[in-house]
Structure 1
């Protein structure tokens, strides 16, 4: 017969295992709750953006009647849009072969009125974790052309000015500002305020980055930049799907969406590769926006690109668009 002392340690070990498992379960439960709150559950702050902008905008933009008249007189083809307010030309570029193939889409946009380039939020609501596809947001706002924005709703920092109205003033990174005079500038969010930008004539801002071309040259060190490297978000390094804005001149912009993670169709590009694409388009300044599955270009009711090679869009929180 075995002595009783050989049994007691086993019982103590079981209690230790059970206790550890319970602690782990509680810890995971807390982490799950936090993750849901942080990345999934909607946190609306302004539930009717249209009404909010109508009440708070101090900018005289193209009114609806003028926009409707311009759209009515517009000429649209499979790849072009020409109106009194904006001209858009879409082109497709394919480089490389096999698994090194890269496919990207370029929208060359000229504006006669800087306010023709507008922003819209998913579900007409400002807040965190509120998403729709680029196509759905575009359709809700009668857009002829749209790209995904900066996914402002993933974070609670950054300066967010949209359509001449301040939504957030928490400077944290390098931003891009679109001015009423048609100029576009990279700026340091931490060195100014949203009210100062508005007073200087800013119409829209985006907050992601980094700037990848300045004064026509590729910015040094962009491969070492990290954006939002917190739980649940990818690094922006390596070959990835990309979205970027390039500035050729006042009121002359190019928007580029590079597809990726689809060997044989499009591998994606590094930030340096994206900068070189922009250089080839003749830009003086270029700025990186949210990428990955969010990278989307929309034109005249349809997707232009093929997100992740599956044709399936990932929800995002905002778009930049031109009304048609």
Structure 2
């Protein structure tokens, strides 16, 4: 006969009961945490959808939203990703806006400039004028932007620099260091296929030391010029090569638009400011001093960028009677002696290789700037070849 086991032997121990209860409790806690997380995610998705609907209604159905939408589109138009603007305003509106800006820029370049400059006579130069430095650099800032104003007190000390070698542009900092310049600022635009251009094929014309270095326009055509004549007077606007020759052009590039003429701003408001971007512009005061405005951008937390209206107002505040836009965006750069970069260029690849730069020299007549485009036709230059 089999012996009976004590009843207690078939019952779980107290420790195992506690262990089972603890496991169940942990499972319930884990389940509650999982459920709470899913509810949180669900609420977040709901809130985001509601915010998206509200943002859509604001952007497309309110005046302030439409203004913001066009500002976003204008900002994209000034970048390498112009085509993205069609997702904000549509392709038809994008084409219409680009054409409207081009027409506006052309009109801004036609009013006759009558400004005169009053350079001091070197023989009668006062002690105060003699002590004035050749260049002065001032920091400027405003809503969403930071940058610099470079003042060149003697405009006759400026020359247009070009790359040292054929086939590729050169960094402005390199041009400054190589030529012994006091300072340098990026100049005109260039062909940039697929935004991978080598910086060697300029847009329009390049004039240095009174000589035509590069001609990318047809005979008798006009182009938007930014530059200086032999007396140091700034010239900006739409001219033919014959007209520029009669004006005694000395240094010049093609770019647009002219934003101040005869002391009057040409851009009426922020709405017409052509988006937010890094900017470079050139202007002149009545005393002859040249002003370069360099605005950084596309760097949240530091500087988003400025509109052309912002740049125009900076120029007017500094006494400019004429001013014009230069190449901006990732080309914007200010370099000083020995090639030190003062601002913060926005290009993710570092300072860009460019075809032209306005350089400042203590003795510009001693500087040799060879014509690297001599004998080359524009159609023979591969703008994308490295």
Cα 1:103–1:168 shift into 2, 3 Å: same
1:268 Cα deviation from its structure 2 partner: 0.4
1:183 is matched with 233
1:253 is matched with 290
1:289 to 320, 326, 333: 326
1:93 is matched with 140
2:314 is matched with 277
1:104 is matched with 147
Counterparts of residues 72-91 of structure 1 (less than 5 Å): 87-91=134-138
Which of the pair has more CA radius of gyration?
2
**Could you tell me how far apart the structure 1 residues matched to 2:132 and 2:223 are?**
32
The TM-score with structure 2 as length reference comes to 0.52
1:321 to 333, 341, 359: 359
1:203 Cα deviation from its structure 2 partner: 0.5
Cα 1:141–1:217 shift into 2, 3 Å: same
1:304 to 305, 320, 342: 342
2:265 is matched with 218
Structure 2 regions of 5+ residues with no counterpart? 1-128, 193-200, 363-386
**Could you tell me how far apart the structure 2 residues matched to 1:309 and 1:121 are?**
20
Structure 1 counterpart SS, 2:351: coil
User: Higher helix fraction: Structure 1 or Structure 2?
Assistant: 2
**Could you tell me how far apart the structure 2 residues matched to 1:163 and 1:219 are?**
30
1:264 is matched with 301
User: Higher strand fraction: Structure 1 or Structure 2?
Assistant: 1
Counterparts of residues 99-248 of structure 1 (less than 5 Å): 100=144, 102-111=145-154, 114=156, 116-125=157-166, 130-152=168-190, 158-169=204-215, 170=217, 171-189=221-239, 192-193=240-241, 195-220=242-267, 237-248=274-285
**Could you tell me how far apart the structure 1 residues matched to 2:203 and 2:304 are?**
31
Equivalenced residue count is 221
Mapped contact 1:157–1:168 kept (Cα < 8 A): no
Counterparts of residues 40-59 of structure 1 (less than 5 Å): none
The TM-score with structure 1 as length reference comes to 0.61
1:221 Cα deviation from its structure 2 partner: 6.9
1:304 Cα deviation from its structure 2 partner: 0.8
Cα 1:214–1:314 shift into 2, 3 Å: same
Q: How big is each residue's C-alpha offset from its partner over 1:249-306, in whole Å with a ceiling of 9 and x where there is no partner?
A: 2531111100000111111011111111111111011100000110000112210101
Mapped contact 1:210–1:222 kept (Cα < 8 A): no
1:217 Cα deviation from its structure 2 partner: 2.1
Cα 1:311–1:264 shift into 2, 3 Å: farther
Counterparts of residues 6-17 of structure 1 (less than 5 Å): none
1:139 Cα deviation from its structure 2 partner: 1.3
1:61 is matched with none
Mapped contact 1:177–1:204 kept (Cα < 8 A): yes
2:16 is matched with none
Structure 1 counterpart SS, 2:306: coil
1:118 Cα deviation from its structure 2 partner: 0.5
**Could you tell me how far apart the structure 2 residues matched to 1:122 and 1:206 are?**
14
Structure 1 regions of 5+ residues with no counterpart? 1-81, 226-235
1:74 is matched with none
Structure 1 counterpart SS, 2:134: strand
Aligned-residue CA RMSD (Å): 2.9
**Could you tell me how far apart the structure 2 residues matched to 1:95 and 1:220 are?**
18
Q: How big is each residue's C-alpha offset from its partner over 1:121-144, in whole Å with a ceiling of 9 and x where there is no partner?
A: 12244xxx6212110122111111
